[in-house]
Amino acid sequence: MLKILGGVAKGFPIVTPKSNSTRPTSVLIKRKLFDWRQNLEGFSFIDLCAGSGAMGFEALSRGAEKIVVNDSMRGSFLTLKKNQEELNRAFKFDLASIVVSNSDAKNWVLKELKYHFPDSEDVILYMDPPYEEHALYFSLLESLKELGFKGEIWVESDRLKGPKLQDVQQAFHSIIKTVEQGDHFVVIGKLG
């Protein structure tokens, strides 16, 4: 079982989907990211391929004003709803601050991003698609670039199965930070 690492909901357990089709971001990567960006007040956070929603709920616990946790798989969506309900029951978050969505990642970007975040300057978008879906990574980044997304994008991949570090870095206009742990990495950057 995963737990929220910091903020108002520190230690709160996050249920994970029962299927093997999702894999949570490692605790060490998550800790490095959120040790670097501890306070998310003033930010919104999108967890695009959320699985359990652990990254988005971590951001909420650390002060994000609004989060979107999205996953196209039904089992993950039901898990997201359960985690949302349990967090709301325990901490009374504003119901409008958590959006749970069951959409294809690319469709969500093309159809929902501008609706939920017309101004993307203070938005962090976390992308962690299945590592094997290399084309999806770059298709999402291209769509975000075409839409003029101005926020930070955090892209997680794996050196063995996913897109290579240098390929992900080259997709960005500017790199803010790269976090690495074993074969896993997260590139943080902006597209424009």
Instruction: Give 10-residue mean pLDDT values along the chain (192 residues).
Output: 94 88 86 96 97 97 98 95 96 94 97 94 96 96 97 97 96 98 97 92
The whole-number pLDDT of residue 21 equals: 64
CB 38 within 8 A of CB 30: no
Helices (H), 37-122: 54-61, 74-91, 105-111, 113-116
Say how far apart CA 90 and CA 12 lie, in whole Å. 9
Instruction: Tell me the whole-structure pTM to 2 decimals.
Output: 0.96
Return the closest-CA partner of residue 138 out of 118, 113, 161, 155. 155
The whole-number pLDDT of residue 24 equals: 83
Say how far apart CA 65 and CA 61 lie, in whole Å. 10
Please name the helix (run of DSSP H) or strand (run of DSSP E) that holds residue 186, with its range, or none: strand 184-190
Superfamily in which the 2-190 domain is placed by CATH:
Vaccinia Virus protein VP39 (3.40.50.150)
Q: 100 pairs with which residues across the strands?
A: 69
